[in-house]
Amino acid sequence: MGCNMRKCWWHGKIAYQIYPKSFADSNGDGIGDLRGIISKLDYLKDLGVDILWLSPIFASPFIDNGYDIADYRNIAPVFGSMDDFDELVEQARKRGLKIILDLVVNHCSSENAMFKKALKDPFGKEASYFYFVKGKDGRAPDNLRSYFGGSVWEKVEGYDDLYYLHYFAREQPDFNWNNKELREKVYEMVNWWLDKGVSGFRIDAIMNIVKDTSFPGLPPDNNNDGMCAANKMTAKLSFKAKEYLKELRDRTFLGHDAFTVGEAFGLNDSILPDYLGDDGCFGSIFDFTAREVFEKEPGYYAYPEVDIAFYRDSNFSMQEKANTLGFVAPIIENHDEPRAISLYLKPSQQNKHGAKALATAFMFLRGIPFIYEGQELGMTNTRFDSIDEFNDLSAFEEYRKCKEHGLGDEEALKVLNLHSRDHGRTPMLWDNSVNAGFSQAKPWLKIHQDYETLNVKAELADPDSTLNYYRKLTRLRKDPRYVECFTYGVFRAGDTSDREIVCYNRHSDAMDIMIFVNFSDSERKIQLPEDAQLLISSEKAELITGTLTVQPCSAVVVRIR
């Protein structure tokens, strides 16, 4: 049974994603930093998480907020110094917390020294680390559209018919993974960080590393621009990625017993087994099944409305597949997503009751759950009042697409208020003082409108808060009596006929535990064995001789065997 054969240190752990720019600002420049993170380690320890994933902290021009790396072995000065980083690792270690970094190696920044050299000599050694390609018939080599809009090809200055490839922004040139020397440089860098004491990596956009170097392009999709989204090509070639990724694993992660979690979109059933389990490329992969419905669309304006049954069914399908393969990493939000409460819950449930219900549905899925900063407070989307308040480059591209599609300013703003990546990037809310205790200075991105009540300090003081409920959930998941079942127990979907109920079991030799979440507006009664034990409930729940009454918009976790 895949991963069940070999036990790994990260099994049974809970991870937490930190977006360093928005977590805590220690030096009053409006931007979060490493010393800010150090100052909050006790908070994180108390929350009950074990592994901290830091979004990129490396030197970068921040065109894509650090996912454009200029220097892989230096810390961005805005985040602090290498000494600060070493101290972070040490302070985390003292508390039993592990740090994992973001490995962004599909592309780098156009400010990276290797790329600068390549631009100067597009037929030289450094250029072979990238894709410098001649045009076809006076046009770009193919018709792929970059993730952030426009062609994936950018003309090389000073040449008539030469282009370089970038699947993301033009300031993010793609590395050529066919080049052995380039791969060696990546492995060396990865090992350097592992030797410094990081415990692993989250691996960015990694399925994009495979390219068909004949650059055949694809039939245009539904955008009316003659282009096709690059992710279609990535999906088509994904079966090949394992050749490189197993090499990466063997040369780096394995020797360090590192935990890795891949941002691996669109893995179909035939290649999923290559990514999970004992011989998988990664320790885990995020479960993005629920995002895939959006990937098909030409833009935010066409995104369908989704509900809790959609979230449930997406998760359940991956959970069932992963049972025999290994551990996925369940998420409900990250720095590329709006807040889950705003996305999946009806307006009447976008409050702490809904937050707790959703948290319960998520926390006991099989795998390594990743909590995203602010999720534990029950953060909803931030209200942006004008396009000028956004920061993410895709917000501006999506706004342009909305307008092109015929939407007015207000309608376009409404679309961004539902789907922008900036919702996940607004500063963490620490208290009700100015700037929510995040910074002494004006923060780089807007503060959430509800910060006066929705913040760590207020929620710690309130026994009934979302935050305190999350603390109970993490403790329950790791309770020595149940941890074996919650870690290795098989996932079994419950009845899915009611769109407002999320119900599943975790089953091990020793016990069965049922997670039942009632997202409807009416009370539900369920019949259970007489000796059933209620382990936690998000609202008051009554268990009387086997009959359990579950309040509207609430969750229970019950041991039923």
Out of 79, 129, 168, 215, name the contact with ligand GLC by CB under 6 A: 168
Out of 33, 154, 174, 204, name the contact with ligand GLC by CB under 6 A: 204
Q: Smallest Cα–Cα separation from 170: which of 184, 153, 185?
A: 153
Closest approach, Cβ 107 to ligand GLC, in A, equals 7
Out of 53, 58, 67, 504, name the contact with ligand GLC by CB under 6 A: 67
Closest approach, Cβ 167 to ligand GLC, in A, equals 8
Distance CA 423, CA 383 (A): 9
Candidates 50, 174, 204, 376; catalytic one = 204
Report helix, strand and coil shares of the chain as percent, to nearest 5.
Answer: 35, 15, 45
Q: Interface with ligand GLC includes 205 (CB under 6 A)?
A: yes
Q: Interface with ligand GLC includes 336 (CB under 6 A)?
A: yes
* DSSP per-residue string spanning 413-446: HHHHHHH-GGGGTSPP---SSGGGGT-SSPPSSP
| CB nearer ligand GLC, residue 165 or residue 476 | 165
Closest approach, Cβ 14 to ligand GLC, in A, equals 20
CB neighbour class for 280 (10 Å; exposed up to 12, middle 13-18, buried from 19):
buried
Q: Smallest Cα–Cα separation from 371: which of 363, 379, 381, 382?
A: 363
Q: Which residue is nearest to ligand GLC (CB)?
A: 67
| CB nearer ligand GLC, residue 422 or residue 459 | 422
Strands 162-165 and 132-134: antiparallel
Token pair for 282: 């990664």
Token pair for 159: 């040449």
Residues that bind ligand GLC (rule: CB under 6 A) add up to a total of 9
Q: Interface with ligand GLC includes 397 (CB under 6 A)?
A: no
Closest approach, Cβ 287 to ligand GLC, in A, equals 15
Do residues 307 and 293 lie in contact, with contact meaning Cβ atoms separated by under 8 Å?
A: no
- For 527, the enclosing helix (H) or strand (E) is strand 524-527
Distance CA 22, CA 425 (A): 6
| CB nearer ligand GLC, residue 67 or residue 444 | 67
| CB nearer ligand GLC, residue 316 or residue 390 | 390
Token pair for 431: 């208290």
Quick check: is 263 catalytic? yes
| CB nearer ligand GLC, residue 33 or residue 263 | 263
Q: Interface with ligand GLC includes 64 (CB under 6 A)?
A: yes
Candidates 33, 50, 102, 263; catalytic one = 263
| CB nearer ligand GLC, residue 84 or residue 174 | 174
Distance CA 385, CA 236 (A): 40
Q: Interface with ligand GLC includes 333 (CB under 6 A)?
A: no
Distance CA 544, CA 478 (A): 27
Task: Please name the amino acid found at residue 88.
Answer: L
Closest approach, Cβ 335 to ligand GLC, in A, equals 6
Closest approach, Cβ 202 to ligand GLC, in A, equals 9
Quick check: is 398 catalytic? no
Residues 6 or more apart from 134 whose CB is under 8 A from it?
A: 141, 161, 162, 163
| CB nearer ligand GLC, residue 265 or residue 384 | 265
- Looking at residue 7, the DSSP 8-state letter turns out to be -
Closest approach, Cβ 416 to ligand GLC, in A, equals 16
Q: Interface with ligand GLC includes 104 (CB under 6 A)?
A: yes
Per-residue contact string for residues 258-287; x = within reach of ligand GLC by CB under 6 A: -----x------------------------
Do residues 141 and 215 lie in contact, with contact meaning Cβ atoms separated by under 8 Å?
A: yes
Residues 475-494 touching ligand GLC, rule: CB under 6 A, are none
| Cα R_g (the chain), whole angstroms | 23
Residue numbers annotated as active site: 204, 263
Contact residues: ligand GLC, CB under 6 A: 64, 67, 104, 168, 204-205, 263, 335-336
